[in-house]
Structure 1
Amino acid sequence: MPYTIPLKRPLDDTGLSHRQTAAQSTPSRAQIVADVARYHHPHFLQVEPGRYEGSVTYYFTAFTGRETEPEMPLTVYGDKSVTYEQRRELADQYEAARGAWSQARLRLEATPVLRKAAPLWEAWTTAQAALHQVFNEFRSTADGQWRAQLLRLTDAERAAKTAAEAWDKIAGQLAGLSAAQVRAAGEEHELELTDVAKEIGLDAQPWHINHTSEYDPTHVWHDTPVVAVLTLQIDQQRERLREVDHLAGDRELA
């Protein structure tokens, strides 16, 4: 099936915003098919007027994501028979091709990672809920059982920390794949990870995935995103316990 990438705004001298009616632009594009077809991307099928005035939609055969990144042939720039308008049209075509290719590559690379991520997100949310439950049980724990409950709390903290680290590790991989797609095609052709997940039957809307820079291992001065959330929760819980300990006149938690 053909793959279509609509340019969301008309095209100008830069190839991004040229203001002319679809009827006026069509002959020029037809001329390109006749004159410079040898420079078309191999997956190119056709171009048609787009939904909005002056915009166009490019159609390609389906990309797998395994192809090399679409780049306009350098010989186009040295071919004096190619007009400025034709060169601009070819540049737009290759921009659209990169968009289609980059989305196919993201689907190819992200799908297996998304499948691995699903149980890790569930493990994290389960561990976080268990931590909150253990902490809340202090409200009904007898004074003589607080040491045992503190042991259960530290066990829950460690389990949550392990789950948070595992999630952040795979979230960092997904963030990197998403960033690579945007770098290749631009934000105009961005494909959301939540959309890829939906296509394979996963609901990734609640997943906590930050910008790829938040997972940079060289930033040793801060925790990764979900670990940071957990650390804050643990600190707040422990501060609450110290407050109660102080009011009770004990020093067991000092």
Structure 2
Amino acid sequence: MAELIPLKTPLDDTGLMPRYQPGTMTRAAMATDISRYHHPLFVRAEPGRYEGWMTYSFQAFTGLEEEPQMSLEAIRDRTLTREQSAALSHEYDAARILWSKARLRRQAGPLLTKAAPLWEAWTAAHEQLRATFREFWTTEDGRWRAQLLRLTDAERAAESAAEAFDEIAEKLSRLAEEQIRVAGEDEDLPLRTVAQELGLDASDWHIVWPDAYKPSTLSWRGFGDRLVDRLHKEIDAQRERLREVQAMAGDKDLSDSELV
């Protein structure tokens, strides 16, 4: 049997308007054949659990299909009643939602799989950075310069890991944005859900809205919300703390040139 994917409104909060009101369709309208205008994967439409709503069922979308669109022939068909045109319009709304989710799963799946080890590399590098900074609490005064070298090495490793994850996170973010554009915010498919379906835990991954990845003044060091931007803020805070300690100890100011 073909796999069926029902779209139930309003149970799934699709935001679509009521499909059918008893008594609004005439016998003639109900007898008119509109089957030629159905989406190729359409299976059936039937009253939903709540009065005034319809459940649309389709064969499974792969995400490789063209974006479902009601044909111009159907739009221009003057023999269709208003109710029939509305029913077809809602059918294609439902089809686009299901198609957009199937396409996101197909496109994002490989990227999510690739992102998993990059996130692990980032978390390891980030923890190493923090551990290296904590070692200043037990580093003897005569060993500070050596510890500063270790700190800058940890900074560079963390920055490289953050940039690598940001690169793939931007691609994932744009795919998610496109799915929302097609289906609407009420029918978004979270990337963490797709990851979970693949056996991945992406609950802590830092993926932000696409605009955050655009080159702009907000992406300058200390401002943006990319992973590397957050890292830069943390590094700056660590360096400032070291300067404070140097000043309290009566040593000469610690310049950035000594930390880079």
Cα distance in 1 for partners of 2:160, 2:31 equals: 58
CA contact (8 A) 1:4 1:100 kept: no
**Counterpart Cα distance in 1 of 2:31 and 2:179:** 29
How far 1:213 moved relative to its partner?
A: 1.1
Q: Which residue of 1 aligns with 2:150?
A: 152
TM-score normalised to structure 1 length: 0.90
Aligned length: 246
Out of 199, 210, 216, the residue aligned to residue 219 of structure 1 is 216
Distance 1:214 1:228 in 2: 10
- The superposition leaves residues 194-238 of structure 1 with CA deviations (integer Å, 9 ceiling, x where unpaired) of 11111110011111111111112x325514511111011001000
Q: Which amino acid aligns with 2:238?
A: Q
Whole-angstrom CA distance in 2 between matches of 1:238 and 1:175:
32
Query: What residue number does 2:101 align with?
Result: 103
Partner of 2:199: 201
Stretches of 4+ aligned residues off by more than 4 angstroms: 25-29, 31-34
Q: Is the 8 A contact 1:26 1:49 kept in 2?
A: no
CA shift for structure 1 position 47 = 1.2
- Correspondences of 1:97-246 after superposition (within 5 Å): 97-216=95-214, 218-219=215-216, 221-222=218-219, 223=224, 225-246=226-247
Q: What is the alpha-carbon distance in structure 2 between the residues aligned to residue 247 and residue 35 of structure 1?
A: 86
- 2:39 counterpart letter in structure 1: H
| Residues 220 and 33 (structure 1), Cα distance of their counterparts in 2 relative to 1, 3 Å cut | farther
1:52–1:213 distance in 2 versus 1, CA, 3 Å: farther
- Relative to structure 1, the CA distance from residue 49 to residue 137 in structure 2 (aligned partners, 3 Å threshold; closer, same or farther) is same
Structure 1 residues 26-55: Cα deviation after superposition (integer angstroms, max 9, x where no partner): 9779x6685201100000001122233322
**Aligned residue among 10, 14, 17 for 1:8:** 10
Which residue pairs with 1:12 in the alignment? none
Provide the TM-score with structure 2 as the length reference. Answer: 0.88
Aligned to 2:17: 17
Question: How many angstroms does 1:84 deviate by?
Answer: 0.8
Instruction: Check the 8 A contact 2:44/2:58 in 1, yes or no.
Output: yes
User: Percent of pairs identical after alignment?
Assistant: 51
Whether the 8 Å contact between 2:18 and 2:54 is mirrored in structure 1 is: no
User: Given residue 219 of structure 1, which amino acid in structure 2 is its aligned partner?
Assistant: S
